[in-house]
Amino acid sequence: MSNAYSKDLERWMPRLIAVWRASRGRTEGPEGRLTPQEVKEVAAGVKQLSLGLTRERQLAGARYMDDPRLLGAYLLFYWPVSYAQARQVLGELPSRPRHVLDLGSGPGPVAFAAMDAGGGEVTAADRSKAALTLARALATEAGEALATREWDPMKKGTELPEGQYDLITLGHVVNELYGATDEALKPRAALLESVLGKVKRGGSVLVLEPALRETSRNLLKVRDLLVERGYAVRAPCMYRGACPALVKETDWCHAERAWPMPRVVEELAKAAGLHKEALKMSYLVLAPKGESWPEPPPGRLFRIVSESLEGKGRQRYIGCGPEGRVGLAMQDKHRTEQNERFFHLQRGDVIAVTQTEAKGDGIAMGEGSEVRMVAQAGRGVPPPPREPDASATPPKA
């Protein structure tokens, strides 16, 4: 997470605490910090949310944000995490959005992330009146304008908010809809199709999901249904066919980013017995119907989709690019100035490689290989260079 993003999040932390205290009828407390008793109180709710959403999953789809204790725990712990995740992925959008709709917004972490990323007019929509009340309180605390709407995708007859948008976001929403079996995949894809129909040309739909194996694989299955129906993926995929991460049941695909954890989040994580050293999430940035896949720049490209798989005498990663998902490896003895970058890659980086050979179940690089950084994790892949306009008038001598 860049310094600019982390500074933005640090400015939100005192606001979150102030709004939480106000919602609990409290008027006193140290600014920007929780008391030990408050940490203990909130951590109990954080632990219950973690168990219910990431382990036992019994809270997935439940109206947990209508519980003041769980909503408060979400506000002080998961809100900063979701905000940071969204700021990372919003860096991959092809253009800055002006009109933004955040569906399933809760108290608005993704909505405010979009606002801080340049969104001019942002609407937060959720089924929880309590969560929307906190979102409005945060907007007031920050001196920002935020529109809110009630929206319940599980309620028959509920329509999407009116209007057309440059960006529509769904942060940790889709995985909680329509049940926990494969029967949920088609209605989830149908929902995203209807959402994509509300996006302006050149706009995007951003879907953020947990990095669990189950939720990540289900997102990829929904991705494949949409790709079959002619939709294009702006990020992170460069492979245009059925997702190769679904071939093996043990594989899945998620992003991981380093971040400077806010002190309050660190204290709550420790008290709840959780580990949040890195941001982990699965995501898709989808284009509306009729738009083509982004054209990548020249070269043999791969996005790094694994952690470092360093072994004895060699470096290895899993890469996924226009040609599919493959292992990428290089022996230490072949390290040169031209390929040094390979030994310091992060999950999410996009690289271009030269002079490779097929070896085993992947690709090997040698002393003559060049490894070039195309886009660091959290940055959009640049388009190919524009061809010079042959009809343009040449400059005068």
Distance CA 391, CA 371 (A): 36
| Tens of pLDDT, residues 289-339 | 999 999 999 999 999 999 999 888 999 999 999 999 999 999 999 999 999
Q: What are the pLDDT digits (tens) for 2-32?
A: 667 889 999 999 999 999 999 999 888 999 9
pLDDT digits (tens, 9 = 90+) for 52-81: 988 778 888 889 999 999 999 999 999 999
Integer Cα distance of 128 and 66 in angstroms: 6
Half-sphere exposure of 24 (CA within 13 A, CB side): 21
Residues 6+ apart with CB under 8 A from 79: 16, 106, 107, 108, 109
287-296 pLDDT, tens digit per residue, is 999 999 999 9
Average pLDDT, the chain: 93
> In order of start, what are the domains of the chain with their CATH numbers?
3-286 (3.40.50.150), 300-375 (2.40.50.140)
CA 221-209-285 angle, 5° bins:
75
Dihedral, 27, 31, 34, 37 alpha carbons, nearest 10: -40
Q: Out of 28-32, 87-91, 339-343, pick the least confident.
A: 28-32
Whether the model clears a pTM of 0.85, i.e. scores above it, the answer is yes
Helices in 74-184 by DSSP H: which ranges?
79-90, 109-116, 129-142
pLDDT at 3: 65
Cβ–Cβ under 8 Å, residues 146 and 116? no
pLDDT reported for residue 156: 84
User: With contact defined as beta carbons under 8 Å apart, do 21 and 264 qualify?
Assistant: no
Amino acid letter, residue 37: Q
- pLDDT at residue 51 is higher than 50: yes
CA end-to-end span of the chain: 48
Q: What are the b/e assignments for 216-233, b being 16+ CB within 10 Å?
A: bbbbbbbbbbbbeeebbb
Q: What is the DSSP pairing of strand 199-209 with strand 278-286? A: antiparallel
Q: Look at residue 397 and tell me whether its pLDDT is greater than 50.
A: no
